[in-house]
Structure 1
C-alpha cells in the first residue's frame, strides 16, 4: 500500500511541477503548484515526518498559495505569449545553468538513487520529524541553506515590487501627493444644492424681469398687468394716486 501511495504522490508531484512552468495562464499555474505541494505532503507522511507534512499543507499549500493568488490578481492574471526575450548572455547563462543542473541530477540518480531502491532505507530514530529536531538541524547542520533561503525570499519580494511598478500597479510617492491646487473643484462640477440654487436664481431673475417690463425691454399687456400689480403691492394706485396714508 505504501508503494502505491508513493508512486501516486510522486507522479502528482512531477505533474504539478511540469504544469507550473508549462501552463501559460498564471492562475492555472498556481493551481498546478498547489497540486505539487499536496503531493509533497504525502511524500513527507510516508517518511514519517508528520510535522513537515502539516506545515507543507498549512503554510505552503494554504497561506502562501493565497498570497500567490493575490499577487497574480494584482500584477495581472492574463496569459502572455512566450517570446525569446532577454539578452544573448542571459540565454547562454540559462542554458549553462540548465546543463549543470541536469548533470547534478543525473549523478544523484545514477550514483545513489538507483542503488537505494532495493534497500529498506535508514532506520527510524526517536524524535525524527519533531519541531525540536527540525529547529536543531536548521540552526546547526543546515544553517547555510537556511540563510540562503532568506535571501531568496528577499529577492522574490524585490522582484514582485519591480513587476508591479513595471505594469503600473504602483506609483512613486511624489505622484500621489495632493497639493492645495488639486483640492480646487473644477467649474463644471457642483453639488445638488448648488444646482438647485442656480435654477432657483434663474427662475427668480426671469420672474423679476417679467414684473419690471419683460425680456428685451418690451412690455406687453401681461407685463402692464404685472406692473400694476407691483404698484399695488408697493401702496401706489394704478392711476398714480397714493393710498390714504400718503394723503
Structure 2
C-alpha cells in the first residue's frame, strides 16, 4: 500500500500503459481519477474504472482531451473537489500519428501529434503544479509528477519525426520542471518505455516488431506492468530524493 490514501490522476488511463498504471496504483491504495477521451479499452475488455471497483479500489472516469486546456483544468478541479487534494499526476496520454519521415509529414499530422504528446503533457504538468503550490507538504512533497516519455525522445525513431519530437519535449519538460520547483517540494520525473506489448491489434507489416526485437537485448519485449511498476516507484515516497530523472524501462534498448 505504497500509495495509501493518495489521490492520483492518470491521463490516457483507459487502455495500454495507462490502464496498467491506474490499476496498479489503485491496488497500492490510491484513489484514481482517469482522464481519457473514452472509457473503451483499445485492447478490449472491461473498462479500467470497473476493474478497479471490482478489486475494491476507488476510481473515477472523466472525459478529457489533454490537448484542450479546459478539459485538463476540469479534470484536476473535479478530482480535487471530490478528494481534497492531488498527490500524483501521471501524464501518460499520447498518440503515434502517421509515422512518416520529415518530407512526408503533413502539417496536420505534426500539429495533431504535438497537441497531444507535447502540449498535452505541458497542460497536465502546468495544472498539476498550480494545484500542488496550494497544498501542504506530505511525505516530503507537495505533489509528484510522473511523465511517460520514450526512448524515442532520446534517440531517433525511424520514420516517426513528430512522435519522437513530442517525446523529446516531454523529457525536457521533466528536467526543467524538476529544477524550477524543487525548492517548492514538487517532484517531477519520467519513465521512458522501450517497446511495450499492449495487446492492441498489430498494424500492417512486421518491420517495427522486428526492429524492436533486434534493438532489445533482453529476450522479451516489455509489458505495460513493467512501466507501471517503475511509475509506482517514482510516485511513492521511496523516490523522495529523485527528481528530474528519465527512468528507462526498455530491456537494455538504450544500452545497446
- Please, what TM-score do these two structures have when normalized by structure 1? 0.24
Q: Which has the higher helix share?
A: 1
TM-score by length of 2: 0.24
| Higher RCO structure (Cα 8 Å, ≥6 apart) | 2
Between Structure 1 and Structure 2, which shows a larger proportion of strand residues? 2
Query: Larger radius of gyration, structure 1 or 2?
Result: 1
